[in-house]
Amino acid sequence: MRAVLRFLILAPFAVLLLGFSLANRSPVPVSTDPFNLPDLPLPTFAVPLYLLVVGAMMVGVVLGGSSTWVRQGRHRKAAREASRKWAALRAENEALRNQMTPAAPGTPALPVSRPKN
């Protein structure tokens, strides 16, 4: 189901991107000089418009993903700590179970003390 939904979303996007790329193949000048200073000429190069737009989208996706990954670091750290704590508690529980001796048949079981809330 997930694959079908992904296809239904990505296929139209891919068709639109392909159409945009075919319609905008002509080169556009890209200047690296933001102020157009006459005494310091910086290089200008020609790039097809679709490469410029698709490249900008790719940079945006990478920057957005990176910032999200950095922001969620504290949640990943908390999950790692909780996992370690859970493993330690489970090991302690197993150790305590191994220390318990089974009661002889016919003897009453010891009452279990429970903490009061």
Query: Rounded CA gap, 36 and 29, in Å?
Result: 13
Q: Give the relative orientation of helices 2-23 and 49-71 as an angle to the nearest 10 degrees.
A: 140
Q: What pTM, to 2 d.p., does this model score?
A: 0.60
Answer whether residue 109 is part of any domain: no
The tens place of each residue's pLDDT in the chain, 117 residues long, gives 889 988 899 999 889 988 988 888 899 988 888 887 777 888 888 999 989 988 999 999 999 999 999 999 999 999 999 999 999 999 999 999 888 866 666 666 656 666 665
Answer whether residue 46 is part of any domain: yes
What backbone torsions phi and psi does residue 22 show, to the nearest 5 degrees? Answer: -70, -35
Answer whether residue 49 is part of any domain: yes
Query: Rounded CA gap, 71 and 94, in Å?
Result: 37
Q: Which domain holds residue 50?
A: 15-32+40-99
pLDDT score recorded for residue 65? 96
Provide the CA 70 distance to its chain's centre, in angstroms: 9
Q: How many domains does the chain have?
A: 1
Q: Give the relative orientation of helices 49-71 and 73-99 as an angle to the nearest 10 degrees.
A: 40
